[in-house]
Every structure is written in C-alpha cells, then in structure tokens.
A and B are shown apart, each in its own frame.
Chain A
Amino acid sequence: MFKIPFHLAMHVPDGFLNLPVSLCSWAIAITLIAFALNNLKSEYQERAVPLMGVCAAFIFAVQMVNFPIPGGTSGHLLGGTLAGVLLGPWAGSLVMAVVFVVQAVMFQDGGITALGANIVNMGLVGTFGGYYLYQLVRRILGQHSWLGISTGVAIAAWLSVVTASILCAIMLGLSDTVPLSVALTAMVSWHIAIGVGEALITVVAVSFIWRTRPDLIYLPISNRKLAERELANTEQN
C-alpha cells in the first residue's frame, strides 16, 4: 500500500490534482513570480541579498522540523508570512518559490505537476496576503510599535496557514480527488491548530530580529523615510 512518508505535506504530491487545476495554479504561480521579479529589480536594497539567502535557507530547514499537535498529527512552519515580513512581497515570494522548487526537484517533496499549486498555497498566500494583512494591522495598531508588529505577524501567519488549507481543499475538490465539503472540514480543522504553531514561531523569529536588527524588517519605500526619521529620533533620545 502506498504510504505518503511523513513531513511531505501540505505539499500536494503528483496525482492529487487534475490537469486543469494543475495548469491554472502553475499559471498563477508563474504570473505572480514574474511580477515579483520585476518589482524586485526596481526597489532593491543591497542588504537584502544575504537576507534572501538566509531567509530561504532558514525556511527550508525549519520546514523539515515537524512539531506534534494533539490528535496524532504534526505541523510545520510554512514561512510565507515570515518571508513577507522580512523581505516584502517581491523578494519574499521569490524566496518561497526557491524553497518549494528545491524541495520538489531535489527531494521529491510535492509533485512537480503540483509545484505551481504548492507555491501559490504555501508561499504566495503568505507573502502577498499575509504581508498586506500584517501591514494593515500595523497601520491600525501602531506602525512602529511592537504591539502592532507582533499582532499583525500573528494574525497574518495564522490566517495564511488556514487560507492555504482552504485553497488546498478547494483544489482537491475541483480535481475530484475528494468531495469538497469533506476536504474543507478536515483540512481546516487541522490547520486551525497548525496555524497557531506558525503564528508562534513567526512571532518569536520576528521578535528576535526586532530586538537585534530592526532594520531588517521590510519597509515599503514610502514608509522608509518616515521610519528612518523616527529611528534617528529614538537613537538620539
């Protein structure tokens, strides 16, 4: 009997998605990645070069470490929100794409036909959706306060995992692999719990960086001058 080995999920393997779903998700992934590449070139920051590498390496490594959740299941960090918070949506999306490509091509983790879907669900949901939600919370609760940042990170991280599981269930349903309602219930209920792990790990990681290298937390260009001024003010005090 074919048994999917541990920690190869929510990476969708070959065979779970039908051709139209697979092609559509590939198209979405390629479009958004091209868009990210283009925007990356126009706002690049020298210091982000090592950060892209480090972030990708860290997310790859942490994705290998499953943590147990009650009920005999395990979860692992996805990292999309973390990548978005540190690198912004453009560089963050590229980093996530690299992680999933290496996983699929070198380690047969996630099917190559399903790679587009995996990049979209587990990567781009976090680096776009998670990122913008986190920025929204920051704007509401305090752009440069730890309260704003940590709350934004936690909510965005949790929601990005739950959303990923919803999208995954929808793709499975559309592919007739499993009935949609059943898949949704099952996937979402596990990932509500797994999302808590994501939120915790991401907040801890961001808090470490906030305390040691706050400049590494991504700032969109329009906010950067404001932040530089504020940082200069706090350093003077």
Chain B
Amino acid sequence: MNPNNSANNRLLLITGLGTALIIAAFLSPFASKDPDGLDRVAGDLKFEHKATENTAAKQLPFAQVFAEYSLKAVSDEKLSTAVAGVIGTITTFGIAWGLGKLAVRRKSASSETKSQADERNS
C-alpha cells in the first residue's frame, strides 16, 4: 500500500475530518457539564473570581458571534453548541492544513531547483 497514494489520502481526509465533524456535532452537546480540572480547583480553592471579566478575546469580532462554544444566533443550547463545534472544527482543519501545504510547497520548490541544478551539471 503506497502511503503517498492520493486516493489513500483522500480516504484519510474524508474519514478523519468526517469523524471529527460527527464528534463536534453530535457528541459535544452532550458533554459532561461538570466543571473540569482547573475549573473545579478554582472553585474549591476560591480563586475563580480572579479571572478577568472583560477579556481581550471579548473585544474581537468573533465574540459577537460566539459566546464560548455556542452560536449566539441559535437559541437551542444543544444545537448552538453543535454548530459552534462544527464551525470550529472546520476552521481548525483549514488553518492546520494550510500551514502544512505552505511547508510542502517550500520543500518541493527547493528540491526542484536542486534537481534542475543536477541536470545541468550532468
């Protein structure tokens, strides 16, 4: 099995991204609502009030659209979480994939010039 086969990569893409989207859409709205690690400690040890209310992130345009992991425009809590999750998953995919593409393009550009140089010298 050729790992660089584009059909294999397409399958990886579809199943991997698909799984992530299913998790974001259908599992995240049912996540445990118990406070997690740091939340719990901050509550128990009474330092949660030290968190800044008016954070830098809240000034960003995204804060108009998302209130943490929920889409403000959608009133149903579970649906709101699911949509936010899907948008976040796709965004994260895009940026990471784009970063990877940038790195590959630079590498193949430098190996092309090397092979052109080799041809000239032979």
B74 within 8 A of A: no
Give the distance to chain A from B98, nearest Cβ to Cβ, in Å: 8
Stretch of A23-31, A40-48, A126-134, A146-154 contacting B (4+ beta carbons < 8 Å): A40-48
Contact (A7, B31) CB under 8 Å given A44-B107, A107-B62? yes
Contact (A104, B19) CB under 8 Å given A11-B38, A76-B36? no
Give the distance to chain B from A67, nearest Cβ to Cβ, in Å: 6
A-side contacts of B37, CB under 8 Å: 9-10, 73, 75, 165, 187, 190-191, 194
Establish whether residues B51 and A216, one from each chain, have CB atoms under 8 Å apart when the complex forms: no
Chain B, interface residues (CB within 8 Å), range? 35 or more
Establish whether residues B12 and A50, one from each chain, have CB atoms under 8 Å apart when the complex forms: yes
Q: Cα distance A52–B51 when bound, in Å?
A: 33
B-side contacts of A4, CB under 8 Å: 35, 39, 42-43, 48, 51
Establish whether residues A112 and B20, one from each chain, have CB atoms under 8 Å apart when the complex forms: no
A15 within 8 A of B: yes
B121 within 8 A of A: no
Establish whether residues B36 and A7, one from each chain, have CB atoms under 8 Å apart when the complex forms: yes
Contact of B32 among A47, A66, A113, A183 (CB under 8 A): A66
Q: Cα distance A99–B97 when bound, in Å?
A: 12
Chain A-chain B contacts (Cβ-Cβ < 8 Å), number:
257
Establish whether residues A108 and B96, one from each chain, have CB atoms under 8 Å apart when the complex forms: no
Contact of A72 among B3, B34, B42, B97 (CB under 8 A): B34
Chain A, interface residues (CB within 8 Å), range? 35 or more
Give the distance to chain A from B89, nearest Cβ to Cβ, in Å: 5
Contact (A9, B39) CB under 8 Å given A14-B56, A50-B12, A57-B20? yes
B-side contacts of A2, CB under 8 Å: 48-49, 51, 53
A and B contact pairs by CB, cutoff 8 A, 22 listed: A46-B4, A47-B4, A49-B97, A52-B100, A53-B94, A56-B97, A60-B92, A64-B24, A64-B27, A65-B28, A74-B33, A98-B99, A105-B57, A106-B88, A111-B56, A113-B56, A172-B47, A177-B47, A186-B40, A186-B41, A213-B8, A216-B3
Binding site for B on A (CB under 8 A): 1-16, 37, 40-42, 44, 46-62, 64-68, 72-76, 91, 94-95, 98-99, 101-109, 111-113, 165, 168, 172, 177-178, 182-183, 186-187, 190-191, 194, 213, 215-216
Binding site for A on B (CB under 8 A): 1, 3-4, 8-10, 12-13, 16-17, 19-21, 23-24, 27-28, 31-45, 47-53, 55-58, 60, 62-63, 66-69, 81, 84-85, 88-97, 99-101, 103-104, 106-107
